[in-house]
Structure formats: C-alpha cells, structure tokens
Amino acid sequence: MKIRFLLIFLVTILAIYMNFINKHEIMKFSSQTERALKTLQSRQEVNQDLLSVNSKLLARDRIKKLASEELNMIFAESTPLNIRRDDNNRYKLIDFFVPTAEALNR
C-alpha cells in the first residue's frame, strides 16, 4: 500500500513538474517569436525606405539632370545609330538600344 501511494505521489509530482516546464518553454518561445516579429517588422520598414530611396536615385530625370549638370553630357533626342560594314562590304545601321533592329536591315 505504501509503495502504491508513493508511486502515485511521484507520478503526480512529475506531472506537475512537467506542466511547469512546458509552460516555461511556451513562454520562452512566445517571447522569442515576439522579438523575431518585431525585428522582421523593423527590417521591412528599413527595406521600404531603402526601396524608396533607390527608386528616387534611379529616376531617369534625376540621372539626366546629374549627367548634364555635373558631367556636361547631353541627352540625344533620338536613338543613336551607327553604321558598320558587314563581311560583304554592305553598310548596316546598328541600333545599340534595340539590337533586334539590326535583324531588320539584313
């Protein structure tokens, strides 16, 4: 009888101990998840800011303005074309911005 009572007592104590360990683990992982979510949210905000800055820096008008003001470059009104000779000494127009246009001249 004493052994059975002792066994029931130990099983009860073990169940209570395991319950507290599980609660502790749940709270620990919950706080880690909250920290990870806050980190993710802050990095997403930084990413949005960087994307905004990047799109401003890559704006075509800004690049044209900087090229003309700081490098004294001019922007061509039409697509630049070059003329070259092929193997048969025929002249061809080459469009560097649209390479498929060269196929139209063959």
Give the residue, 91 or 3, on which the prediction is more confident: 3
Q: What is the pLDDT of residue 81?
A: 55
Q: What is the pLDDT of residue 65?
A: 87
Give the residue, 104 or 1, on which the prediction is more confident: 1
The 3-class SS string of the chain reads: CHHHHHHHHHHHHHHHHHHHHHHHHHHHHHHHHHHHHHHHHHHHHHHHHHHHHHHHHCCHHHHHHHHHHHCCCCCCCCCCEEEEECCCCCEEEEECCCCCHHHHCC
What is the per-residue pLDDT across 46-84, written as a single tens digit (0 to 9) for each?
Answer: 999 999 999 888 888 888 888 888 888 877 666 555 556
What is the per-residue pLDDT across 26-40, written as a single tens digit (0 to 9) for each?
Answer: 999 999 999 999 999
